[in-house]
Structure 1
Amino acid sequence: MKDFSVILKSLWHSKASPLLLILQIALTFTIFVNAVYMVMQKHEKVTAPSGLNETQVFSLFINLQETGEARVAEFEQVLRDIKDLDSVENAIPVTSVPLSGYGRSADIGYGPADEDKLTSSGYYGSNYDSKDTLDLKLIAGQWFERSDVTHSFFGAKSGGKILVSKALAQTLHPDNWRDVLGKTLYVQGDPQQVIGVVDNLKAVWSFWRLFDHAVLAPVFEIKDKVGLMVKAQPGTLDKAMLDVKEALLMTPGRQIDKLKPFSQTREESYRADVAELQTLQLVLIGLLILTMLAIFGQARFAILKRRKQIGTRRALGANQLQILRYYLLENLIVTLVGVAIGMVCAVLVNTQLVSYFGLVPVPADYLLVGAVAILLAGQCAVIQPAWQAARVSPALATRSV
């Protein structure tokens, strides 16, 4: 306590340098806490499960050469040929490929009019085997029957059945997402009955704010270019991709586009997010280094300016540990004041971010973790100058400076 009062008087007597350091620490803390929270949110996004079997599934697009209803028979034969391959476990048609950027969305509501729209969702058309091929997890209701599957040239027929993702169900019924079961949803203006809810199915655009919203309809669309997702036998992904390519190219005029494993599709989808994450991490490291350098410089300057005073204290009986403790405590006080101001600023800044950009408020534990990180960085930065002060010889008290 004796050192504490002496330190406060010393800081008040020469307040310009400590004040500047306090302001820098406060600014660093404000940026640091909000940036850390953004890093954690971004990390959660790029590492979140897609809901699909990412190690066995790949996708591709092919052309169909027949016209009209003959395309249905052509495409069904393509599916049979792929499923007959030893390296393939299952295959399905898809109107959209998750995370690929290729696909479409649909307006969702409990009525056909524009004012009845409640939200939007990613839209998928496929067939009965989509549950097994993609390893989707049904958490409520029931799956399609094979008889529910229809062919179309665009979209599902009115009065059909659909499954929705849990995130979409929660948006429609925040109090109890299971209430969506049995309801008639209007998907792009067409009535569809919700018969089940899948745990996790993403839309095709990772940057979309409604990325977790998805609708799955039992329909595959027969156009001149169609999408396929194939599930390889365990451990045979590369072989399955090669086998499928060779089997398809046996048909003259067949074209294959965007043949890639789902792991690659995911990596490409999150490439920009990963770059942002790495940039934010470098910014955080840079902030801490700059703050430590500022604290180091301030502490070193204070010690050089007070070498004779330190020598006098040593001559009066202060040992090295007491001098070391003094400067560590002084730095701790300055850093604590800076962190306290920074906490207030961080809350105010985050409030504005939440208000203007719709972000989630920073949890209180991030403020505490940020405070600990800044305090530890500050103490580490001052150890060398404080140790240098502790080694000042008592003989300096008898010399002129």
Structure 2
Amino acid sequence: MADIRPILSTLRRHKTASALIVLEIALSCAIICNAVFLITTRLERIDRPSGLAETELVRVNMAGIGRNDNAEALAREDLAALRAIPGVKAATLTNQIPYGNSSWNSSVNLEPEQQNPTMNASVYLGGEQLLETFGLRLVAGRDFNTDEYVDWEALDAPGSEVEIPSAIISRTAAERLFPGESAVGKSIYSWGENAIKVVGVVEHLIRPNENGGPSEVQLSIMLPVRVPFGNYVLRTEPDRRVEVLKAAVSTLNQVNPSRVLLDDDTFIEVRDEYYRQDKAMAWLLVAVIIGLLVVTALGIVGLASFWVAQRTKQIGVRRALGATRGQVLRYFQTENFLLATLGIVIGMALAYGINLALMERYELARLPAIYLPVGAVALWLLGQVAVFGPARRAAAVPPAVATRSV
């Protein structure tokens, strides 16, 4: 504590240099806290569970089948051929896939004449083996029965009276619709005016896109509707995905050579493409953080070196009066700690200000308080490491040489 007074006196004589280093630390603190928070949110977004057996899935999307006069028959022929490929555990044709950026959505109600929907959900349509192919885990209820499947063309025909008898919903949707109750056996109203019975609940089933934001991303339902369009999805062993994917494309071309291949990839590739911008943003923010830390460290080193050169005589006098090397070293470390503390306090206020601006413009979540002490500790440590070299050189100056300096 005895060093505090002379340190403060010295800093008052170097107001401009002190203010610059405090400002640099404050800006670094504010930006780094928010950057780390943004990186964390991006990583949490990337790590969200889809519910699917991602490492076992491949998909093929071909154009032309929907324009065929006998599309449903062709779809059945396609699926029979795909399921016969060696290594295929299950195969289905579905209107959309997670991370596919499609927008098959529907309001879901609890009453037939309900004006304001209880929720909006993403709708997955598919025939037999949809649940098995996706690899979804049932946490309640059962899979669709064979007699519950209906054909798209019959359902979509003008004046159709075909009803969808059942649905499987995600656990998040079940909790939203029936909080504190079992959803199995309950009725919902979504497609058409008839009640649809919930027969199963899966642990996770993510939307194909970000409609509704993070709180809505797991609101999904599955309906037993055979569609003659969309994505062929095949499930196989992880080490046979490439082999099965090539065989699937070849098989579909043999069934109908007139179609055009739009996409053929593993589900891991689909997911990687979906999160490509998130990963790029995370790496960009990492580079920004590293750059700020380097610039801040260089600023501290430069200022400390300048002050050591300016105070050579002062250091020599202190050494001549009995100050040890450890005391000189501690003097500069304490000085840096005081400047860093002031900069960190200002930086925390700036961090919250930046976060509030981001919340208003980009609907970002509030910055958790835990990021502030973490940023503070990181900058304190950075400051001590950066000042150690110049301070050690100052402490190593012999008293006799120092006192002869002008």
1:121 corresponds to which residue? 121
Contact kept in structure 2, 1:160 and 1:192, CA below 8 Å: yes
Match of 2:199 in 1: 195
Describe the SS at the equivalent of 1:230. strand
Q: Percent identity?
A: 31
Report the AA paired with residue 301 of structure 2: F
Task: Indicate how the Cα distance of structure 1 residues 170 and 385 shifts in structure 2: closer, same or farther if over 3 A, else same.
Answer: farther
**Structure 2 SS opposite 1:50:** coil
Aligned pairs for 1:143-182 (under 5 A) are: 143-153=143-153, 158-172=163-177, 176=180, 178=181, 180-182=183-185
Report the equivalent of 1:214.
220
Distance 2:152 2:124 in 1: 13
Range moving further from structure 2, 260-269 or 76-85: 76-85
1:92 Cα shift? Answer: 0.8
Instruction: Identify which range, 86-95 or 122-131, moves more after superposition.
Output: 122-131
**Cα distance in 2 for residues equivalent to 1:343 and 1:179:** 46
Structure 2 counterparts to residues 123-142 of structure 1, below 5 A:
123-142=123-142
- What is the alpha-carbon distance in structure 1 between the residues aligned to residue 73 and residue 403 of structure 2? 103
> What are the equivalent positions in structure 2 for 1:359-378 lying under 5 Å apart?
359-378=364-383
CA distance in 2, matches of 1:239, 1:300: 63
Q: Give the AA of the match of 1:15.
A: K
Q: Does 1:84 align with 2:84?
A: yes
Q: Residue type matched to 1:264 in 2?
A: E
Distance 2:191 2:94 in 1: 18
SS at match of 1:202: coil
| Aligned length in residues | 396
Q: What amino acid sits opposite 1:298 in the alignment? A: L
Between the aligned partners of 2:125 and 2:61, the Cα distance in structure 1 is 15
Answer whether contact 1:303 1:385 (CA < 8 A) is retained. yes
1:275 equivalent to 2:280? Answer yes
Q: Secondary structure, in 3 states, of the residue corresponding to 2:91?
A: strand
Q: TM-score, normalised by structure 1?
A: 0.89
- Does 2:189 match 1:186? yes
Helix, strand or coil at the partner of 1:164? strand
How high is the TM-score relative to the length of structure 2?
0.88
Is the alpha carbon distance of 1:208 and 1:272 closer, same or farther for their aligned partners in structure 2, counting shifts above 3 Å?
Answer: farther
Residue number in structure 1 paired with 2:295: 290
Q: Which letter maps to 2:205? A: L
Residue identity in the other structure for 1:297: G
Greater alpha carbon shift after TM alignment, 356-365 vs 286-295: 356-365
Q: Conserved in 2, the CA contact under 8 Å of 1:137 and 1:198? A: yes
| RMSD of aligned alpha carbons | 2.6
**Secondary structure of the corresponding residue to residue 189 of structure 2:** strand
Q: CA separation in 2, counterparts of 1:80 and 1:348? A: 60
Q: Deviations over 1:292-336 (max 9, x none)?
A: 122112212211111110111111121212111111111011111
Distance 1:13 1:279, change over 3 A: same
SS of alignment partner, residue 117 of structure 1: coil
| Structure 2 stretches lacking a partner, 5+ long | none
- 2 CA distance for matches of 1:268 and 1:106? 26
**Paired residue secondary structure (2:255):** coil
Say whether 1:105 aligns with 2:108: no
C-alpha spacing 1:400/1:329, structure 2 compared with 1 (3 Å): closer
Cα distance in 2 for residues equivalent to 1:32 and 1:189: 51
CA distance in 1, matches of 2:369, 2:49: 27
Report the CA distance between 1:396 and its aligned residue.
Answer: 3.9
C-alpha separation in 1, matches of 2:397 and 2:137: 69
- SS of the counterpart of 1:385? helix
Instruction: For residues 231-281 of structure 1, give each alpha carbon's deviation from its aligned partner in whole angstroms, at most 9, with x where no partner exists.
Output: 124521122112222222223534233111111111111111111111111
8 Å Cα contact 2:164-2:223 kept in structure 1: no
Give, in angstroms, the shift of residue 158 of structure 1.
4.3
Matches within 5 A, 1:1-400: 1-62=1-62, 63-64=64-65, 70-111=70-111, 115-153=115-153, 158-172=163-177, 176=180, 178=181, 180-187=183-190, 190=193, 191-205=195-209, 209=213, 210-222=216-228, 225-255=229-259, 256-399=261-404
Paired residue secondary structure (1:77): helix
Ranges in structure 1 where 5+ consecutive residues have no aligned partner: none
